[in-house]
């Protein structure tokens, strides 16, 4: 009887320790996801901060492109207003920023003096670098979400996930093909 009691107690201790380890791993992964989303948000904010400089720089050369520049400002403001909404809600606003930003950069190619301007070239470089950083941060976030979601859905960790209400997290994906591309840069 003592042997059976010892085995049952040992099994309960092992299961309890395994559940505690699984719970702690979920908490670490959730924290990593939140942290990596912060990285995406920082880069998106950087892009939103660069846009007013781009608009001011391009306006001097392209007064008749005012409608496009106003669209870029409106897209930027909408994205800034929704930056705290999370990946799914923010996705459409950031896609619009990327789409209009690409149009502005493409139109700027028609102005040789603008293309040669040191300020514009610097902004092009910063925007391209920022787009690359957004893509890298998005990949890191999505990798963390994928690993977390796999744990939530697979046995035996799904038992712990269900007990402690860990649910899958949304990916941050751009569905508009134009928004996936960095703005064109041609020095």
Query: What would the pLDDT profile of 80-99 be if each residue is shown by its tens digit?
Result: 998 888 888 888 999 999 99
> Residue 21: inside a domain, yes or no?
no
Residues 6+ apart with CB under 8 A from 51: 72, 73, 76, 97, 101
pLDDT for 187 beyond 70: no
CA distances from 61 to 45, 99, 128, 138, 187 (A): 26, 21, 21, 34, 17
DSSP, collapsed to helix, strand or coil, labels residue 182 as coil
> Residue 8: inside a domain, yes or no?
no
Overall average pLDDT of the 34-42 stretch: 94
> Residue 100: inside a domain, yes or no?
yes
The pLDDT value recorded for residue 181 is 47
The pLDDT value recorded for residue 58 is 82
pLDDT for 1 beyond 80: no
> Residue 171: inside a domain, yes or no?
yes
Higher pLDDT, 95 or 120: 95
The structural domain count of the chain equals 1
Query: What would the pLDDT profile of 140-172 be if each residue is shown by its tens digit?
Result: 999 999 999 999 999 999 999 999 999 999 999
Overall average pLDDT of the 30-53 stretch: 93
> Residue 185: inside a domain, yes or no?
no
Structural domain of 133: 34-180
Higher pLDDT, 62 or 23: 23
Output the domain CATH number for residue 153: 1.20.1440.20
pLDDT for 115 beyond 60: yes
> Residue 121: inside a domain, yes or no?
yes
Q: Which residues of 169-183 are buried (b: 16+ CB within 10 A; e: fewer)?
A: beebebeeeebbebb
The pLDDT value recorded for residue 159 is 93
Residues 6+ apart with CB under 8 A from 42: 137
CB atoms within 10 A of CB 146: 13
User: What is the phi/psi pair of residue 61, to 5°?
Assistant: -100, -25
What angle in degrees, to the nearest 10, is found between the helix axes of 118-153 and 87-108?
A: 150
> Residue 15: inside a domain, yes or no?
no
The pLDDT value recorded for residue 34 is 94
pTM of the complete model: 0.78
> Residue 5: inside a domain, yes or no?
no
The pLDDT value recorded for residue 130 is 92
């Amino acid at each position: 009887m003592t042997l059976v009691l010892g085995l049952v107690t040992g099994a309960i201790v092992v299961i309890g320790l395994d559940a505690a380890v699984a719970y702690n791993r979920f908490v670490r992964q959730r924290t990593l996801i939140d942290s990596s989303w912060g990285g995406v948000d920082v880069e998106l904010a950087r892009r939103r901060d660069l846009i007013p400089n781009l608009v001011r720089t391009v306006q001097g050369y392209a007064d008749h492109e005012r409608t496009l520049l106003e669209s870029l400002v409106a897209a930027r403001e909408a994205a800034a207003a929704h930056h705290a909404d999370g990946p799914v809600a923010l996705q459409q606003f950031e896609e619009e920023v990327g789409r209009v930003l690409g149009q502005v950069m493409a139109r700027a190619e028609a102005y040789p003096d603008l293309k040669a301007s040191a300020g514009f070239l610097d902004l092009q470089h910063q925007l391209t670098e920022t787009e690359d950083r957004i893509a890298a941060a998005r990949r890191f976030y999505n990798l963390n979400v994928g690993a977390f979601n796999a744990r939530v859905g697979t046995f035996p960790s799904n038992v712990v996930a269900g007990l402690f209400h860990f649910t899958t997290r949304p990916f941050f994906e751009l569905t508009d093909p134009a928004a996936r591309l960095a703005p064109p840069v041609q020095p």
